[in-house]
């Protein structure tokens, strides 16, 4: 009997598809005074379970295909079960034929306010949003999946960005920051508005080419792969000029600046010149960092 149960367990472990995310979730309560921190431990486990144990798509993921990501929630104030915090999100994926993981999404949301009572069951209903906590978490889960899919296929993340957009639309009734137009140029509304805007299709195509035709091809032909990345950099500048200071573009550079510097350190002089010119035009505050490839 015990042997039969073991066989059944192994069978289900192999053939039942895993959830999409393998998220390292941390709650930081260092700014909160007091010795009773049990609510934060409970919250951390509840949020981690909500993200990692839920099936978010109809896709089949093997356990080793789950998307690696981090979410850090830094709580600055708690009053009457109302938490004021910021959330930092980072996701990554492996580069083919290497031990290197490239960052796909790196974002900081400093307008995260939510209600939570210890041991509260976390639930989410897209059509009737009552919890800002689960709405924000679900929004970022869909963004993480969307960015991952965009890196493997052209515009592959569209269904997941559209799901995030529906959350933004349905969250307008919540009296919580981060969801509304004109509230900020770097909030949840602004980011998904970029990613679903027709004007950003070229950028999303470049995002795919950067990863699949650039990074994933580095082990085969580094010169050609780097040339493809270099050729596509102009799309970043073109998109940024069409939508100045677009959060999708600044978020890309937040994730990729160090990586781009490393890629172009051994490039041709012309490639270095083009990289510095394009990225400095988009983000002049980082010009010195880009110019470090000349040293």
Kindly give the confidence (pLDDT) of every residue in the chain, 295 residues in length, as a single tens digit, with 9 standing for 90 and above: 433 433 333 333 444 457 999 999 999 999 999 877 999 999 999 999 999 999 999 998 999 999 999 999 999 999 999 999 999 999 999 999 999 999 999 999 999 999 999 999 999 998 899 999 999 999 999 999 999 999 999 999 999 999 999 999 999 989 999 999 999 999 999 999 999 999 999 999 999 999 999 999 999 999 999 999 999 999 999 999 999 999 999 999 999 999 999 999 999 999 999 999 999 999 999 999 999 999 8
Q: Which residues of 122-152 are buried (b: 16+ CB within 10 A; e: fewer)?
A: bebeeeebebbbbbbbbbbbbbbbbbbbbbe
> Are 160 and 205 contained in the same domain?
no
DSSP letter at 286 equals G
Residue 3 lies in a domain: no
> Are 211 and 280 contained in the same domain?
yes
Give the separation between CA 172 and CA 181, rounded to whole angstroms. 10
Range of the domain at 237: 197-295
Give the separation between CA 250 and CA 240, rounded to whole angstroms. 9
> Are 25 and 156 contained in the same domain?
yes
> Are 30 and 133 contained in the same domain?
yes
Residue 290 lies in a domain: yes
> Are 168 and 58 contained in the same domain?
yes
Q: What is the pTM of this model?
A: 0.93
Q: What angle do CA 93, 29, 128 make, to 5 degrees?
A: 70
Residue 129 lies in a domain: yes
> Are 30 and 131 contained in the same domain?
yes
- Of 176, 207, 228, the one marking the end of a domain is 176
> Are 292 and 261 contained in the same domain?
yes
> Are 140 and 204 contained in the same domain?
no
Picking from 244, 27, 2, the residue whose alpha carbon sits closest to that of residue 118 is 27
Give the separation between CA 271 and CA 193, rounded to whole angstroms. 32
Name 115's Cβ contacts closer than 8 Å, sequence gap at least 6.
Answer: 81, 82, 83, 131, 132, 133
Picking from 254, 256, 211, the residue whose alpha carbon sits closest to that of residue 108 is 254
What does residue 44 show for φ and ψ, rounded to 5 degrees? -60, -45
- Give the chain's length: 295
Residue 186 lies in a domain: no
- Of 176, 210, 237, the one marking the end of a domain is 176
Instruction: Domain count for the chain, please give it.
Output: 2
Residue 172 lies in a domain: yes
> Are 206 and 148 contained in the same domain?
no
> Are 104 and 139 contained in the same domain?
yes
> Are 137 and 222 contained in the same domain?
no
């Amino acid at each position: 009997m015990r042997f039969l149960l073991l066989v059944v367990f192994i069978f289900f472990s192999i053939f039942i598809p895993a959830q999409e995310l393998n998220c390292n979730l941390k709650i930081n309560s260092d700014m909160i005074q007091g010795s009773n921190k049990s609510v934060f431990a409970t919250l951390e486990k509840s949020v981690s379970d909500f993200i990692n144990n839920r099936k978010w798509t109809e896709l089949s993921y093997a356990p080793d295909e789950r998307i690696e990501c981090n979410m850090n929630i830094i709580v600055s104030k708690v009053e009457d079960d109302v938490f004021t915090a910021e959330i930092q999100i980072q996701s990554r994926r492996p580069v083919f034929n290497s031990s290197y993981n490239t960052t796909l999404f790196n974002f900081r949301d400093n307008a995260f306010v939510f209600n939570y009572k210890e041991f509260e069951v976390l639930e989410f209903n897209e059509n009737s949003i009552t919890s800002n906590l689960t709405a924000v978490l679900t929004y970022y889960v869909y963004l993480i999946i969307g960015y991952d899919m965009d890196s493997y296929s052209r515009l592959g993340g569209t269904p997941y960005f559209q799901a995030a957009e529906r959350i933004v639309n349905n969250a307008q009734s919540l009296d919580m920051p981060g969801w509304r137009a004109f509230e900020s140029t770097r909030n949840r509304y602004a980011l998904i508005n970029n990613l679903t805007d027709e004007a950003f299709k070229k950028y999303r195509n470049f995002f795919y080419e950067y990863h699949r035709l650039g990074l994933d091809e580095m082990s085969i032909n580094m010169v050609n792969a780097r040339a493809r990345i270099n050729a596509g950099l102009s799309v970043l500048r073109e998109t940024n000029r069409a939508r100045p200071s677009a959060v999708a573009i600044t978020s890309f550079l937040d994730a990729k600046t160090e990586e781009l510097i490393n890629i172009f350190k051994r490039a041709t002089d012309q490639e270095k010149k083009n990289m510095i010119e394009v990225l400095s035009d988009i983000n002049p505050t980082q010009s010195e960092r880009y110019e470090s490839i000349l040293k």
